[in-house]
A and B are shown apart, each in its own frame.
Chain A
Amino acid sequence: MSLCFRIVIFLWLCSVSMFAMSNSLYPLETPKQEAQFSHLLRELRCLVCQNQDLVDSNAELAKDLRAEVYHLVQEGKTDSEITQYLTARYGDFILFKPPVKAITAVLWFGPATFLLLGFFIFWHTCLKRTRDE
């Protein structure tokens, strides 16, 4: 067996055991709940290391919040109930995808507005001028 092949096998075994470990830490009854749990963790921010989601982070708070989300999923709560539970405590900042609100309007609609404005200015300054000439 070549060394390279052995390394590949070793890495594969590692990843399999990691997968088994994560499952034994947070066992859920149905695949649907497991899917819900993993996608929720990806959408939630760790507030200590702010650019990591709850899956990636090893901060103590992230561990606690993972456990909290796990219990809520186990209880059969819906996605919106769980995000509401967390935003009621930590605010919208815990969501990677900010909700559409008056305060986030510039964030959501700003890029499109600026693009339109750019086209408008372009039309006014360049296209109109050539036509006038």
Chain B
Amino acid sequence: MKAVYWRLIPLLIFGLLVFFLWRGLSLDPKSLPSVQIGKPLPEFELSILGKKNVQFTPSALRGQVTLLNVWASWCAACTDEQVFLLQLAREGMPIYGLNYKDNPDNALQWLVEWGNPYQLIGSDIDGKVAIDLGVYGAPETFLLDKSGVIRYRHAGVIDAAVWADEFLPRIKKLEQLT
């Protein structure tokens, strides 16, 4: 009986290895966890795209559940989610923009061509605020609660499936909190 027990150990280890390697196949190394979750937005003061002498600060996002979308006119994937963001904005979701390492003229032109779902857009020309946020590629979208704390980060394009699976349940919960 004891000998049988010992001989099962390699099989057990093999089974464990198979389990972990199988899991590894379906993991996406490009989707990194954000360490910003649970932290308030970093302090920043950016000029607002298209406006002079007005500053965009984290206080603009307080008081309601909001999205902060990192985009740029050079980012091809950003055009993919633009139609969906416009639809969200029409449905009343407050979306703020962070224009990441972009030329303001190109950005404004892009908004004319593709539509503007944003309430306000901060112009992060040198990408400093993006570094503070841990952004590693556009588009990225942060979900913020009423007090301006980051609750979720999605790297990549938002579509209806991502919205329904990842954002809506979280937004519902955050709306209930005061």
Tell me which residues from 1 to 57 in chain B have a Cβ below 8 Å from any Cβ of chain A. 6-7, 9-10, 13, 29-30, 32-36
Q: Is the CB of B29 within 8 A of A89?
A: no
**How far is it, in angstroms, between the C-alpha of A91 and the C-alpha of B39 when the chains are bound?**
13
Contact yes or no, B136 A48, CB < 8 A: yes
Number of B interface residues, CB 8 Å?
Answer: 21
Give the number of residues in A that approach B within 8 Å (Cβ atoms): 19
| A93 CB-CB contact with B under 8 Å | yes
Judging by beta carbons under 8 Å apart, are B6 and A124 in contact? yes
| Chain A residues engaging chain B, CB cutoff 8 angstroms | 47-48, 50, 60-61, 64-65, 68, 87-91, 93, 114, 117, 121, 124-125
Majority-rule SS of A interface residues: helix
Can you add 14 more A-B contacts, CB < 8 Å, to A47-B137, A117-B13, A125-B6? A47-B32, A48-B137, A61-B127, A64-B126, A64-B131, A68-B131, A89-B131, A89-B133, A89-B134, A90-B32, A90-B35, A90-B136, A91-B32, A125-B7
Q: A47-B136, A48-B137, A121-B9 are in contact. Are A87 and B131 (CB under 8 A)?
A: no
